[in-house]
Amino acid sequence: MTHSNQTISVRSGIETDQQFGAVTPPLYLSSNYTFSDLEQPRRYDYSRSGNPTRDTLAETLAELESGVGGIITSSGMSAVYLVTHLLDKGDLIIAPHDCYGGTYRLLNSLAKKGLFEILFVDQGSEESFRSALKRKPKLLWIETPSNPLLRVVDIHKLCQLAGNDIIKVVDNTFLSPALQQPLKLGADVVVHSTTKYINGHSDVVGGAVIAKEQALYEKLAWWANCIGVTGSPFDSFITSRGLRTLSVRIRQHQENTLKIVEFLQRQSLVKHIYYPGLESHSTHAIAAQQQQGFGAMLSFELDLESANLRTFVNSLKLFSLAESLGGVESLICHPATMTHAAMDDKARETAGISSSLLRLSVGIEEAADLIKDLASAFKRCQIKVLKGEQHG
Ligand SMILES: *Cc1c(COP(=O)(O)O)cnc(C)c1O
């Protein structure tokens, strides 16, 4: 019997304990396991290679993404790093020009060491994408929606154009399997920073790689053990606990986001809102077609002629000024000085990241409280220009 994703994540590992009949699966911290006899290893021998707590999380994520198997890694970045082991010297990767900063840095640095070649392209432009394909890449890296402008690319179309000879990888961190399943759209591998929505409580750094076919899965699992990037049992346990509520969290995240977007649209101090759920968003149509929801990340530009950005950010009590995303708590981030500070001014300008841009990761607090908090910050940050205005 097949179950919905909501049921799969809630029931992960439930009633699997053979020894005591525990309802929730126990946490196996042991680094090693006895052999039952000389030359007779049991299912597990050493926790870098395999661990029951980590395997429960891996199997559940693989099921949610419709893959044959998953590997749980120590971080999202080690998940990205693991995937690069599918390449040989001289092989080419095509990656988005606006991919996650850490991914950009890693791919660039490994390419500089001569491990493979890298080409960053605007995958939203069919012309640029087609001309990149002419260079016969071995691996296509997709990340959608993008950070922080939430640009969406058509996974199915890009995978079709790439064809069967290319390994197609999608970083699905921004939406989670609750809202997008890339393996069903033609991808071969899905990557996650489980630090974000999958764990969802901002208390673990972790990652996952899920493969559609057995051969790729085995190759990735072999390399994960070889280089030692597998995640810890404790982190896997906490992440499995977070994963149980993924669907209900996402529902609340999105409900709050819709209300906040409606509120922001009425604010005179807000110049532009970037949210794929808005019909005015440049890639709304693709998002509506390939996603099961528009997610809970959004960015907007504050009118810096009429509002003081520092006062706005500091006035907020329910949006913590922090990087990262996907936790139950609401966050605000200033990409130009935080997540995208490593880019030079020109690169930021090309990417469309202005100094007036603010990014929200909308949490699951009561929406009315979040809106009140924003309203009060908008009021406080206004630059007073009217003569004779009363100051309180
Ligand atoms: C955070 C993030 C990563 C990196 O994950 P870590 O868990 O921080 O190592 C990779 N891709 C995307 C899209 C992310 O948001």
Q: How far is the CA of 353 from the centre of ligand 1 (A)?
A: 19
Mark whether 44 is an active-site residue. Answer: no
Report strand pairing: 167-171 vs 117-121. Answer: unpaired
For residues 69 and 211, the answer to whether their CB atoms sit within 8 Å is yes
Catalytic residue among 171, 212, 217, 275: 171
Measured distance CA(186)–CA(143) in Å, rounded: 14
Ligand 1 surroundings by CB, under 6 angstroms: 75-77, 100, 102-103, 143, 171, 173-174, 193, 195-196, 205, 207
Residues 304-333: tens digit of each pLDDT = 999 999 999 999 999 999 999 999 999 999
Q: What is the pLDDT of residue 392?
A: 44
Q: How far is the CA of 228 from the centre of ligand 1 (A)?
A: 19
Catalytic residue among 54, 168, 196, 241: 196
For residues 281 and 358, the answer to whether their CB atoms sit within 8 Å is no
Residue to mutate (ligand 1; options 72, 77, 205; most atoms within 8 A of CB): 77
Q: Across all residues in the chain, what is the average pLDDT?
A: 96
Q: What is the pLDDT of residue 30?
A: 98
Distance of CA 302 to the CA centre of its chain: 25
Q: What percent of the chain has pLDDT over 90?
A: 93
Residues 220-250: tens digit of each pLDDT = 999 999 999 999 999 999 999 999 999 999 9
Q: How far is the CA of 76 from the centre of ligand 1 (A)?
A: 5
Both structure tokens of 391: 């100051």
Measured distance CA(236)–CA(49) in Å, rounded: 14
Whether the predicted pLDDT of 389 surpasses 90: no
Q: Band of the pLDDT at 292, cuts 50, 70, 90? A: very high
Q: For residue 92, list its beta bridge partners.
A: 117
Q: What is the pLDDT of residue 390?
A: 53
Q: What is the pLDDT of residue 44?
A: 97
Mark whether 171 is an active-site residue. Answer: yes
Measured distance CA(312)–CA(321) in Å, rounded: 11
Q: What is the pLDDT of residue 346?
A: 87
Return the higher-pLDDT residue of 239 and 346. 239
- As a whole number, mean pLDDT of residues 183-204 equals 98
- Using CA atoms, how far residue 278 sits from 150, 191, 334, 375, in Å, is 11, 27, 22, 21
What's the sign of the alpha-carbon dihedral 89, 93, 97, 98?
negative
Mark whether 317 is an active-site residue. Answer: no
- Which residues lie closer than 8 Å to 293 by C-beta, 6 or more apart? 175, 178, 179, 250, 254
Q: What is the pLDDT of residue 387?
A: 53
Residues 16-73: tens digit of each pLDDT = 999 999 999 999 999 999 999 999 999 999 999 999 999 999 999 999 999 999 999 9
Distance of CA 210 to the CA centre of its chain: 14
Domains belonging to the chain, first-starting first, are 5-243 (3.40.640.10), 246-386 (3.90.1150.10)
Sheet holding 357-361, edge to edge: 270-274, 297-302, 357-361, 331-333, 320-321
Q: How far is the CA of 77 from the centre of ligand 1 (A)?
A: 6
Q: How far is the CA of 100 from the centre of ligand 1 (A)?
A: 7
Residues 21-37: tens digit of each pLDDT = 999 999 999 999 999 99
Q: 298 phi and psi, to 5 degrees?
A: -150, 155
Report strand pairing: 167-171 vs 139-143. Answer: parallel
Among protein residues, the one whose CA lies closest to atom 1 of ligand 1: 193
